[in-house]
Amino acid sequence: MTASLLVACITWLGTARTAWAGAWTLPSQRWYVEYFYRYFGSKHVFDSEGNRQRRPTTAAFSDIRNELKLEYGLTDQWNVLASVPYLSSHYRDDNVDLLRTGAGDVFLRTKYRFLNRPLLTNRSPFVGSAQLSFKIPTYNPKRNPLGDGQLDVESRLLLSQSWLWGPEEAPVAQHGASSRTPAPGPITPLSAAPTSHEEAIRDAVLLAQLVQQGTRLYNAGRYAEAAQWFQAVLEHSPNHYEARRIVLTHAAQLLAHEQEFSSAVQLARFERVEPVDGRPIEPVTTLDPPATEIRYNYVAFVNLEHAFTARAKDPANEFPLFAELGLTPFKRLMLIGSLDAAVSVKSTNEEEENFAKWGLRGIVNLWGDGFASVFRTGKPTVNVEVGYNDVFAGRNTADAFEVFGKLKVVF
């Protein structure tokens, strides 16, 4: 009886779903490490009809979660993730006082980024990823119930878009990291045909930024992404000397890593285009990193996630939904608002567990490259995050609040 009561309270948590950086992925051989602490408290529940009910006057449930999360970039597009929690769950009323501690459900995830398309109308690419997750119990649900004790499988689609503003030219850090957010694209659309001296200057600057970013990606071994940036330059300006020179010299690498972007090489080989100022296209053997780069002090982003969770038994399978919006009012501070929900899908007589909650959190950059812990740029950074979530609707779930904190490191 006591064990089943505690299991019911724990399964009412409905909040073990954590966003993992939206659709962004870590570059190859980079690590993301996070320590996560959460306090969950509840004195009310939502019944099977969605009505808010108070627990008995003296009854209360709390759950403290300490969790270590790891993410590693196998490639630039493919990451693996794991999280191991340690829980302390406490239920008490006039008749019982139950406390359970120990390791909870381990989550193993793999995420593949299938879309990373730079747009000339925005500084940042539109990013899409697919994620597969497994929830594995590490406890005996009869002796030490710290979850529902079953294996769950979840498939998730993640879509992300960011916007950058406040450009500033800064030296490229060779042995350290800047606190600003790197620019992954141009500022504004390029003019199809410049009609003034000012537009021509602006286009030249933007094309130089594209070449600069492509060079940095190539030096980092990210050939597929580098090809996209060089292609964008050549589509607008086929006689761009530096872009043609780089692409022709390294055509083999660009073609071998991403056949889809072979058009960058084809554009560079366009025979009717004459070298600029009569200069021949001379090959280069190495790409010199730029001394300066355009960096941005402010960023905003949107994440959208939709998933399906398959369960072996109660509660019912469900469709999780997640959306968040973030922005940086100051260079070292990011504010994020979120909505998180899950809708049960009954097949027979499983119990529904629906919930909806809103959340607010803030991230402070303590050291390193801005908010690499959010965008997974792979540059060394240390961020601290604090937040609050509140469940405002549900069925067969707790009407609860969460207070949490995170220490996040990318290296």
CA pair distance 138, 87, nearest whole angstrom: 12
Average pLDDT over residues 175-204: 49
The mean pLDDT value for 108-134 works out to 84
**Residue 101: half-sphere exposure toward Cβ, Cα within 13 Å:** 3
pLDDT of residue 55: 73
pLDDT of 152 > 80? The answer is: yes
Reported as a pLDDT band with limits 50, 70 and 90, residue 274 is very low
pLDDT, greater one: 411 or 226:
411
Residue 122 vs residues 126, 151, 152, 180, 204: alpha-carbon distances, Å? 9, 42, 39, 18, 17
Q: What is the mean pLDDT of residues 105-120?
A: 86
Predicted pLDDT at 59: 79
Q: Which residues, 6+ apart, have CB-to-CB distance to 311 below 8 Å?
A: 150, 152, 317, 318, 350
Residue 232 has pLDDT above 50, yes or no: yes
45 falls in which pLDDT band (50, 70, 90)? confident
pLDDT range class, residue 192, cuts 50, 70, 90: very low
Q: How confident is the model at residue 25 (pLDDT cuts 50, 70, 90)?
A: very high
pTM here is: 0.72
Amino acid at 198: E
Three-class SS string for the chain? CHHHHHHHHHHCCCCCCCCCCCCCCCCCCCEEEEEEEEEEEEEEEECCCCCEEECCCCCEEEEEEEEEEEEEECCCCEEEEEEEEEEEEEEECCCCEEEEEEECCEEEEEEEEEEEECCCCCCCCEEEEEEEEEEECCCCCCCCCCCCCCCEEEEEEEEEEEEEEEEEEEECCCCCCCCCEECCCCCCCCCCCCCCHHHHHHHHHHHHHHHHHHHHHHHCCCHHHHHHHHHHHHHHCCCCHHHHHHHHHCHHHHHHHCHHHHHHHHHHCCCCCCCHHHCCCCCCCCCCCCCEEEEEEEEEEEEEEEEEEEECCCCCEEEEEEEEEEEEEECCEEEEEEEEEEEEECCCCCCCCEEEEEEEEEEEEEEECCCHHHHCCCCCEEEEEEEEEEEEEEECEEEEEEEEEEEEEEC
Which residue's entry shows tokens 């030096």?
Answer: 219
pLDDT of residue 94: 79
Rounded to an integer, the average pLDDT of 102-128 is 83
Q: Is 357 exposed, middle or buried (0-12, 13-18, 19+ CB in 10 A)?
A: buried
Nearest in space to 13 (alpha carbons), one of 310, 315, 304? 315
Residue 269 has pLDDT above 80, yes or no: no
Q: How confident is the model at residue 176 (pLDDT cuts 50, 70, 90)?
A: very low
- Give me the mean pLDDT over the 21-50 stretch: 91
The dihedral region occupied by 81, where left means phi > 0, alpha psi between -120 and 50, and beta the remainder, is beta
pLDDT at 256: 52
Residue 251 has pLDDT above 80, yes or no: no
CA trace torsion 314, 318, 323, 324 (10° rounding): 20
Confidence check: pLDDT of 175 > 80: no
pLDDT confidence of residue 312: 76
Mean pLDDT score of the chain: 78
pLDDT at 287: 47
Q: How far, in Å, CA of 267 to CA of 252, rounded?
A: 14
Report the sign of the C-alpha dihedral through residues 168, 174, 178, 181, in that order.
Answer: positive
